[in-house]
């Protein structure tokens, strides 16, 4: 493990000062459970898609303090706390929803059980991962649903922090995107890497002689020579009609695809389809991109679009860049606890959850109950809470493919109004506290 990959300093200072105070007064070893949940979904959203569990379980192994970190911490921590952190490794238990599971307000998506000190220090890392990854997956799932089976490519790396981009590609893929432009995500997670071409490549072929038509032809010929007719040619650098003609002239009617990145995408897609068909390129697909979000994707449903390229909106959670999850102490030494701050109520006690389902497979209610005491129910129910870590050991490695299947099944299980893109209430209610 290298210093760069350690995750223990991705932490708020107050977690370590609280550990210091707790070590001093003897409460650091009290058995506790912290719970991760969202008090509400982003405005008008009807469901969320949990993501980040796999990344958290990987980051947990690297949550140790090296000498350089300890030296920094020595400026404000007492020796006893430094010594505690020097030997730190999380040795508790973690339970939670599987990655890719739907969630609703109050769903106990993760619970972390151990001593106060070892649970307390994980707060920031857990929330950073869950809040970002879940924000992206939740937005991406709406786009997948809006695309109604057409493939989506995640190409938003440039619109978010360079490492967040890798996580975004992972979350979008998990939610049902076909692939990503991001090479680090391909390298790290095996997500299909996809790509087309940029306006810069066409403009690179500018010369003092000739005009845009010549330059574009030269660029297209070069791209096809290097990458074959299976490539996608970007046809809107100068004029879309000329671009399409030049594309087929360069690649022939076997060209895999053309991309349109500007203008009224619906109008252009129809014109380009007609033009391609007229040229005999009936199998050449049309990729569209340019400020697409779930609404724009849905609005293009009737148009001859084959693939959507999505950037800004998916990596920024399409208006909800964080999932607003919180990490709250819910149990101390067997006693359920909760704070009473105004408008920030939480429910005490370690919990688990199950989801009631009609025989048709449509879900009807989320039932949150005390851990280890599932309520009797006549309806078919699926257990949502599963063990993830025991005594600090991760029970099963992340499985992106299983998470992807779970998202697909989750979207399929929503009541019909749950998939509406318009603002509304959560698709199913969450019942709290029945034992």
| Contacts to a second copy from residues 232-261, by CB under 8 A | 236-239, 261
Q: Which is nearer to a second copy, 41 or 166 (CB)?
A: 166
d(CA 64, CA 79): 17
Least distance in angstroms from the C-beta of 322 to a second copy: 4
Residues 350-379 that bind a second copy (CB under 8 A): none
Retrieve residue 216's tokens.
């574009």
d(CA 239, CA 215): 12
Q: Which residues contact 133 (CB under 8 A, 6 or more apart)?
A: 51, 52, 55, 167, 170, 171
Residues 291-330 that bind a second copy (CB under 8 A): 312, 315-317, 321-322, 324, 327-329
* Vertex 59 angle, CA 143 and 328, to 5°: 80
Decide if residue 50 touches a second copy (CB under 8 A). Answer: no
Q: Which is nearer to a second copy, 135 or 388 (CB)?
A: 135
Residues 125-154 that bind a second copy (CB under 8 A): 125, 127-129, 131-133
Residues 9-48 that bind a second copy (CB under 8 A): 9-18, 20-25, 27, 30, 32, 34
Q: Look at residue 292 and give its three-state secondary structure.
A: coil
- What is the DSSP annotation of 89-121? ---SEEEEPPTT-EE-TT---EEEEEEHHHHHT
Residues 58-97 that bind a second copy (CB under 8 A): 59, 68-69, 72-73, 76, 78
Number of residues that bind a second copy (CB under 8 A): 114
Q: Which is nearer to a second copy, 262 or 432 (CB)?
A: 262
d(CA 239, CA 272): 12
Least distance in angstroms from the C-beta of 148 to a second copy: 26
| Stretch binding a second copy (CB under 8 A), from 102-110, 184-192, 295-303, 399-407 | 184-192
Least distance in angstroms from the C-beta of 296 to a second copy: 15
Q: Which is nearer to a second copy, 20 or 113 (CB)?
A: 20
Decide if residue 337 touches a second copy (CB under 8 A). Answer: yes
338, 357, 364, 432: residue in contact with a second copy (rule CB under 8 A): 338
* Vertex 419 angle, CA 414 and 423, to 5°: 125
Least distance in angstroms from the C-beta of 406 to a second copy: 22
Least distance in angstroms from the C-beta of 154 to a second copy: 10
| Stretch binding a second copy (CB under 8 A), from 100-108, 270-278, 333-341, 358-366 | 333-341
Least distance in angstroms from the C-beta of 355 to a second copy: 27
Q: Which is nearer to a second copy, 109 or 120 (CB)?
A: 120
CA atoms 199, 201, 202, 208: torsion sign:
positive
Least distance in angstroms from the C-beta of 184 to a second copy: 4
The neighbouring-strand residues paired with 366 are 355, 430
Q: Are 60 and 13 in contact (CB under 8 A)?
A: no
Least distance in angstroms from the C-beta of 331 to a second copy: 9
Question: Is the backbone of residue 349 left (phi > 0), alpha (psi -120 to 50) or beta?
Answer: left
Retrieve residue 396's tokens.
């099963």
Q: Which is nearer to a second copy, 148 or 208 (CB)?
A: 208
Q: What binding mask, one character per residue, do residues 100-119 give for a second copy by CB under 8 A, x or -?
A: ----------------x---
d(CA 193, CA 54): 20
79, 343, 416, 422: residue in contact with a second copy (rule CB under 8 A): 343
DSSP secondary-structure letter at 418?
A: G
83, 162, 274, 393: residue in contact with a second copy (rule CB under 8 A): 162
Q: Which is nearer to a second copy, 203 or 279 (CB)?
A: 203
| Stretch binding a second copy (CB under 8 A), from 7-15, 137-145, 352-360, 397-405 | 7-15
Residue burial 150-162, b: 16+ Cβ < 10 Å; e: rest = ebbbbbbbeebee
DSSP secondary-structure letter at 416?
A: G
Strand (E) or helix (H) holding 387: strand 386-390
Q: Look at residue 366 and give its three-state secondary structure.
A: strand
79, 87, 148, 335: residue in contact with a second copy (rule CB under 8 A): 335
DSSP secondary-structure letter at 159?
A: G
Least distance in angstroms from the C-beta of 365 to a second copy: 29
CA atoms 363, 368, 372, 375: torsion sign:
negative
Angle of helix 400-413 relative to helix 53-61, nearest 10 degrees, comes to 150
């Amino acid at each position: 493990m290298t210093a760069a990959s350690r995750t223990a300093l991705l932490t708020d200072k107050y977690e370590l000062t609280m550990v210091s105070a707790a070590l001093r007064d003897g409460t650091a070893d009290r058995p506790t459970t912290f719970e991760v949940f969202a008090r509400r979904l982003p405005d008008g959203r009807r469901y969320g898609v949990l993501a980040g569990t796999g990344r958290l379980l990987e980051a947990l192994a690297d949550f140790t303090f090296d000498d350089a970190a300890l030296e920094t911490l020595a400026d404000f921590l007492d020796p006893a706390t430094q010594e505690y952190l020097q030997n730190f490794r999380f040795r508790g238990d973690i339970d939670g929803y599987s990655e890719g599971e739907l969630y609703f307000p109050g769903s106990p998506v993760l619970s972390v059980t151990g001593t106060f000190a070892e649970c307390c220090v994980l707060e920031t890392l857990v929330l950073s991962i869950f809040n970002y990854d879940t924000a992206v997956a939740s937005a991406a799932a709406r786009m997948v649903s809006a695309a109604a089976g057409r493939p989506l490519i995640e190409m938003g790396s440039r619109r978010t922090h360079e490492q967040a981009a890798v996580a975004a590609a992972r979350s979008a893929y998990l939610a049902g995107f076909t692939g990503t432009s991001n090479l680090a995500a391909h390298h790290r997670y095996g997500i299909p890497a996809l790509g087309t071409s940029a306006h810069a490549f066409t403009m690179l072929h500018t010369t003092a002689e000739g005009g845009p038509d010549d330059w574009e032809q030269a660029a297209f010929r070069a791209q096809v020579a290097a990458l074959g007719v299976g490539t996608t040619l970007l046809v809107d650098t100068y004029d879309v009609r000329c671009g399409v003609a030049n594309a087929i002239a360069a690649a022939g009617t076997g060209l895999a695809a053309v991309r349109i990145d500007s203008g009224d995408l619906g109008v252009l897609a129809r014109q380009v389809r007609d033009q391609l068909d007229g040229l005999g390129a009936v199998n050449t697909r049309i990729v569209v991109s340019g400020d697409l979000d779930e609404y724009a994707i849905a609005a293009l449903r009737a148009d001859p679009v084959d693939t959507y390229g999505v950037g800004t909106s998916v990596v920024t959670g399409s208006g909800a860049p964080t999932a607003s999850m919180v990490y709250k102490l819910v149990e101390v030494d067997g006693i359920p606890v909760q704070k009473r701050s105004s408008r920030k109520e939480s429910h005490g006690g370690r919990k688990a959850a199950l989801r009631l389902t009609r025989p048709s497979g449509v879900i009807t209610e989320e039932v949150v109950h005390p851990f280890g005491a599932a309520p009797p129910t006549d309806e078919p129910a699926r257990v949502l809470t599963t063990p993830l870590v025991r005594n600090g050991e991760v029970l099963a490695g992340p499985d992106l493919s299983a998470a992807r299947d779970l998202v697909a099944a989750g979207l399929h299980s929503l009541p019909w109004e749950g998939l509406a893109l318009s603002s509304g209430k959560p698709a199913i209610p969450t019942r709290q506290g029945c034992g």
